Amino acid sequence: MKYKKVEKIEEKLSALGYGCWGISGPSFWDGTTDEDSIKTIERAIAGGINFFD
């Protein structure tokens, strides 16, 4: 995973981010269980992603 330094927060963020809109609940996105969402986030973290939107 590539990381980029963000000066204002003095942290390195992954070049890839994870958009969390799809796991925001059934009023926006139907068919995703909490269990599936948690597994997906865990995989993203294991893959080096540390930027979540």
- Helical (H) or strand (E) element with 6: strand 3-6
- Read off the pTM: 0.79
Q: Is the pLDDT of residue 39 over 90?
A: yes
Q: What is the mean pLDDT of residues 3-12?
A: 92
Mean pLDDT for all residues in the chain = 89
Query: What percentage of the chain has pLDDT greater than the value 70?
Result: 91
Q: Is the pLDDT of residue 25 over 80?
A: no
Q: How many CB atoms lie within 10 A of CB 22?
A: 13
Q: How many CA atoms lie within 13 A of 51 on its CB side?
A: 14
